[in-house]
Amino acid sequence: MVKAASISDKASAVITELLEKSKAGLRKNIQAYIRTLRSPGYGPADNEELQSGFTILRLRFNSILDELDIFADVLSQRSEYDVGIWTSALDVLAEDGLRTLHTMADKPQLIVYLDRGHGAAIRRARTRLPGGDMNPVGIIQIPRERMIGSGIASSLIHEVGHQAASLLGLVASLKTRLAERKAHKKNSIAWKYFERWISEILADVWAMGHLGVSATLGLMGVVTLPRYFQFRLDLSDPHPAPYVRVMISCAFGRTLFPHAQWDKCQGLWQTFYPRKGLPPDVLAILDAIDQELPAFVDLVIHHALRPLKGTRLSQIFPLEGRQPADLQQYYRLWRSKKINLYTLPPTLVFAILGQAKFDLIIDAEEENKILTSLLRYWAFSRN
């Protein structure tokens, strides 16, 4: 790979340390096993015990290979023409999505790679790898089809949001609050769904807090699916029904970034997927969710973060300077060459371009040219 396509030195160091430690441990156990085989105290009667020991060593060997392949998928892709540069730049974007947690000294490194699939995913740092070792970095998988325009930021910062929620213990603490509401609210069914969906909703809110309307536009691109899937209310699925998920995104946007654009966005989505003709039981649940949504949004954005000494969730988002009017002003200043996009935080740049897209003052071709240039700049500046 070219230097600009490489992962950060820190990420490389912790991955290498993990693999070397795993290899050293396996080598030590193999040598101990060989000594046991050569020991005069063992004979044919011990074959079962010896076979069991050999099987454990073999399984451990394969699990280390599995771990190696996880990182190899990321690293080998960095040698692909252009893709290596883009993914390195997306590392920078991902890191910017955690910048608000600057007071946390143990923020993990994040690395990005592309793969097939409809949705993005993250293998969070400090979760178990196949061999049982602790993952030292966050590995974010982005579908290749998302590498079109500013929508990539929505998917990527959503996955960063999963890592942030884990670092802050948000899911567990909010589930406790939601369970209390579920037990006492008239529309308890709505709170039951909120509790089930909270992990994915928090990740969407994290993207919203950094990207504004870009987050919702990107989300709409992901969940643009046949009507059959839009209203599937399944309590076994941690993902909100696509129709509801966009409604929830608009509700948070309306609170964090007050503007009439959210009504326009929501109205457009409702014309794509009207509720007309839905079964009465589904309509009843949707109505309950509508009624409880304002209280749910208020609960989430004012939730106190214990690791940050009680700071409210909304207070850690860079809301100031990213309101719709601010983003529109940034765009005008850039067009008049009074500011340079290259000097701004990557999440802010994507927020500006997403707002411009929503306002219909930039087309897909121009957006692609701008982002291609920015991605290369971030990659080369980083390395």
Confidence (pTM): 0.92
CB-neighbour burial class of residue 39 (10 A; exposed 0-12, middle 13-18, buried 19+): exposed
Sign of CA dihedral 318, 323, 326, 327: positive
Rounded to an integer, the average pLDDT of 301-310 is: 90
Strand pairing class (138-143; 121-123): antiparallel
pLDDT in tens, 233-260: 999 999 999 999 999 999 999 999 999 9
Mean pLDDT of 159-181: 93
In the predicted structure, residue 332 carries a pLDDT above the cut 90: yes
Measuring CA to CA, which residue among 196, 234, 193, 223 is closest to residue 120?
Answer: 223
**269 pLDDT exceeds 90?**
yes
pLDDT band at 181, cuts 50/70/90?
A: confident
For residue 106, what pLDDT is reported? 79
Beta bridge partners of residue 141, listed in sequence order: 113, 121
**pLDDT score of 180:** 84
pLDDT score for 383 = 63
Helix 188-211, helix 280-301: angle, nearest 10? 50
Average pLDDT, the chain: 92
| Predicted pLDDT at 353 | 96
Cα Rg of the chain, angstroms: 24
Mean pLDDT of 264-292: 96
- pLDDT tens digits, one per residue of 85-108: 999 999 999 999 999 887 776 789
pLDDT band at 38 (very low <50, low <70, confident <90, very high): confident
Which comes out higher in pLDDT, residue 38 or 255?
255
Task: Please give the DSSP secondary-structure letter assigned to residue 134.
Answer: B
Q: Is 121 within 8 Å of 111 (Cβ atoms)?
A: no
Q: Is the pLDDT score of 183 beyond 80?
A: no
**Residue pair 312/304 in contact by the 8 Å Cβ criterion:** yes
Mean pLDDT (whole number) for 136-144:
93
CB 198 within 8 A of CB 245: no
Tokens of 332: 């005008």
Q: Report the pLDDT averaged over residues 148-153.
A: 86
pLDDT band at 357 (very low <50, low <70, confident <90, very high): very high
pLDDT value, residue 105 = 63
